[in-house]
Amino acid sequence: MGKKLYLTCVWLSIMLMLSMVGCAKEPLPDQAVTLKVMVYDKDTFTKEYGSQLTVAFPNVELQVIETLTLRQDDSPEEEPGEKLIKFIEQENPDLILLEPDQVMPLADKGKLLELDPVMKQENFDPTGIPENMMDYFRQTGNGTLYAIAPTYTPSVIYYNIDLFKRHRIEFPRNQMTWEELFTLAARFGQLGTMEKPIYGIADHLYAYKLTSIFNVAHTLNLSITDPRGEKLQFQAEGWKYVFRMVTDMMKNKALYTTDEEVMSSNANDNPFSREEVAMQVHTPITSKYTLIGESSAQLGVVTMPVNPGNPEESPFISLDSMYAINAASDQKQLAWKVLDYMIGPEMAKLNTQNFISTGSLPIRNAHIQKVGEWEAQPYVMLKPSVHAGWSGDIIRKSKISDSMKEETINAMENAVDEIVKNNKPVDEVLAAMQNELQAKLDIELNK
């Protein structure tokens, strides 16, 4: 090997090691420094982390950058992540707030620092963070760790133990499929009367008719369009399966829904508290009072249904705030120190205590024995699926305009009514909806 080539290889090796480490071990700053942090909402961030970070980093001024305008912009992107990248380039944050599906678009553009080399350099201790959760964070980066979240919010199913016992129906189980859950729920639909109906399950306290459609589709990772956002997919077998199963459950009263726009928010006056619904989907609560008020009924809890092809994963886990380090930051070492503290054992204990006000659980959750009044297992046992999050993102993140999204939602609502109320065949209704919406989308795309 020639001397020039040898020196070049040595130089490249050094630069590679530096880029992997990103920051060497250094003491906390002695003089005042500013660290720019992206947040959803300043007040919420300050309440959850502000005072603790101020004590832990007395010489660090946290400059928070709210992302409200960015989050409210649902317009389609020509390239994934382009709006966030533009925001980052304008604001130059040290800690980047992002969603799971934004990790790779930013990493591919060289915007994110790899965290594994930093963790190794800093002797990061993952004790208490489930291995499946760390696997998920690496999955969002196609095997490389770029971002991590301090907390998460799972959805679960609460069920009325007394109602199940009274009618001698077996309890729901963790990791059921939607078919298994709806089959169980249908047994309650046969028990009610016109005066006092009984439904098997409600997907929300104020059950919107499309919630279950979105939830089942979310479990199957369905999309409403092709990857380019040019062709709608409602005649695909997956969507036919979803509409057929959910509307069948509506017809036989396994699934509770309502056409009412506003319902009582009184915990003592909702279908679940009135024992008109046996099972209720909800995020973690501290007390059964939240759902059933002063009712003496006992509640159990199980996981949300899973995809039988991936029974250890759930899409119904929201990663509340995923953070990454800006690869262009001048404060990489300090940014890691702050992020390390946010996901550390001290904050985990505090986040567990703050669960009453936030409804979120720390990812370092091994110490959690109970969530509210219930055993922790249903809240912590599943790994987030790669597409985990709010099921409404099926519409929100689709590559169609806001007006087309609204048209699609209206059409889906009408389709459910046609199938359930007018007893029209699923295939016929979806074909008509597909044709109508595709014609409108074609006109929009050809403008």
Q: What is the DSSP string of 154-173?
A: E-EEEEEHHHHHHTT-PPP-
Domain presence at residue 400: no
| Whether residues 166 and 220 fall in one domain | yes
57 pLDDT tier (thresholds 50, 70, 90): very high
- Range name among 101-110, 164-173, 352-361 with the lowest pLDDT average: 352-361
**335, 325 contact by CB (below 8 A):** yes
Q: Kindly report which listed range (231-245, 304-318, 376-390) carries the lowest average pLDDT score.
A: 376-390
- pLDDT band at residue 8 using 50, 70 and 90 as cut-offs: very low
Q: At what angle do helices 426-445 and 402-420 cross, to 10 degrees?
A: 170
230, 441 Cβ separation under 8 angstroms: yes
The residue that leads in pLDDT, 339 or 321, is 339
Q: State whether 305 and 164 are in the same domain.
A: yes
DSSP for 32-88, written as a single string = -EEEEEEES-HHHHIIIIIHHHHHH-TTEEEEEEE-HHHHH-----SSTTHHHHHHH
If one counts the domains in the chain, the total is 2
For residue 130, is it within any domain? yes
In angstroms, rounded to a whole number, what is the distance separating the alpha carbons of residues 126 and 348?
A: 12
Name the amino acid, one letter, at 5.
L
Task: Flag whether 46 is in a domain.
Answer: yes
Question: What is the distance between the terminal CA atoms of the chain, rounded to a whole angstrom?
Answer: 60
Q: Is residue 51 part of a domain?
A: yes
pLDDT at 13 (0 to 100): 38
Question: Which of 122-136, 164-178, 429-443 is predicted with the least confidence, judged by mean pLDDT?
Answer: 122-136
Most confident of the ranges 257-271, 310-324, 418-432: 418-432
Residue 85 lies in a domain: yes
Residues 142 and 194 in one domain: no
Q: Report the C-alpha gap between 436 and 447 in whole angstroms.
A: 17
Count CB neighbours of 272 within 10 A.
27
Domain annotation covers residue 304: yes
CATH of residue 69's domain is 3.40.190.10
- Helices marked H in 73-150 — which ranges? 82-91, 103-108, 116-121, 131-139
For residues 213 and 255, membership in a common domain is answered with yes
Average pLDDT of the chain to the nearest whole number: 88
Model confidence at 18: pLDDT above 80:
no
Q: Pick the closest to residue 351 from 153, 136, 64 (CA basis).
A: 153
Q: Are residues 69 and 177 in the same domain?
A: no
Give the up-direction half-sphere exposure of residue 219: CA atoms within 13 A in the CB hemisphere. 23
Is the pLDDT confidence value at 76 over 50?
Answer: yes
Same domain (yes/no): 183, 301: yes
Where are any strands of DSSP class E within 199-258? 199-202, 255-256
> CA 336, CA 29: separation in Å to the nearest integer?
13
132 and 67 in a common domain: yes
Residue 139 in domain = yes
pLDDT at 211 over 60: yes
- Give per-residue pLDDT as tens, 296-326: 999 999 999 999 999 999 999 998 689 999 9
Q: Are residues 241 and 168 in the same domain?
A: yes
184 and 293 housed in the same domain: yes
Q: 277-282 and 199-202 as β-strands: parallel, antiparallel, unpaired? A: parallel
Q: 245 and 209, same structural domain?
A: yes
The H-or-E segment that residue 413 falls in is: helix 402-420
User: What is the domain range of residue 173?
Assistant: 156-314
Q: Can you tell me the mean pLDDT for 417-427?
A: 97
